[in-house]
Structure formats: C-alpha cells, structure tokens
Amino acid sequence: MTAYIDPDREQFEAFKALDRDQPIEMLNLVRFRAKADYPVGHALADKDLTGAEAYRQYGAETAPIIARIGASILWRGAFQTTLIGPQDEAWDEVFIARYPTAHAFLEMVTDPVYRSAVVHRQAAVATSRLIRCGTAQGGASFG
C-alpha cells in the first residue's frame, strides 16, 4: 500500500481552487504506525511513543485551533471491516470534521501553532485519506 501522509502540491492546489465560502466536511481515514517516527533531534524522538500516542498529542495541541476557527468533529466511528474496497486498508481513526468554510480549514493549516503540531501527525501516521465533501441533503434513499 502506498503511504499518504501529507497532500502533494497538485492535490492542495485542487482543494484551494474549489469554493472556499461554504461549509465543508472532511472524511478522515487514518492508520497509525506501530511506533511514532519523529525526526532526529525532536524532543519526543527517543520517547518510544506509539503512533496512537503521537496522534493524541497532535489532537491535544490542535484542539484550541479547531475551537477558534469554529470547526468540530461531526462524527467518529470505530472501523470494523471493508465491505467494498481494498482489503488491506484498515483504519485506526475514522471521523468527519466539519469546518464552517474552506477558508477556516486553510486558516488552520497555516496557523503557526498548527504547523508546529503537525509533526506529531506526521510521526503518527502510516497512511491516511482526507476527502473533502460539501454539504448535501439527506434522504430516505440512495442516489
């Protein structure tokens, strides 16, 4: 499986090209490393943290930013199995984050405190998927 931890430039530019003035939901699928992989010289590099522990550190440090920009975790679930899709894609974290606008998301990822905290996410994550969705009407049927 290919590892996806950070967006590449093309993906980030495509994200930024979409309407920024509407609420967005971000589907997050995250698989942790068994052991966190911090850069050499980082204060936590020799602390023998698990990926899950490093991800919790990321969450703790970014929670005030999430609150400030008006974002929230809309839904969180516990992965059980993949019914349709690659069988090697199992996830440790599955959640949907809601942002009041795409501007708010961009404000978050460019915040200096966030940029400092993202090292924990990078150390924690073996692979991930981050899928931007717009709000749509619910209903009683598919399609």
Helix (H, G, I), strand (E, B) or coil at 119: helix
The CB density around residue 34, as the number of other CB atoms within 10 Å, is: 9
**Is 0.85 topped by the overall pTM?**
yes
Per-residue pLDDT tens over the stretch 77-90:
999 999 999 998 99
CA 123 to chain centre: 13
pLDDT of 90 reads: 95
The predicted pLDDT at position 127 comes to 97
In which domain, by residue range, is 35 found? 9-134
| Sites in the chain below the pLDDT cut of 50 | none
- The distance of Cα 76 from the centroid of its chain, to the nearest Å, equals 12
According to the model, what pLDDT value does residue 1 have?
62
In a domain, 91, yes or no: yes
Q: Provide the CATH number for the domain around residue 126.
A: 3.30.70.100
Residue 69 lies inside a defined structural domain of this protein:
yes
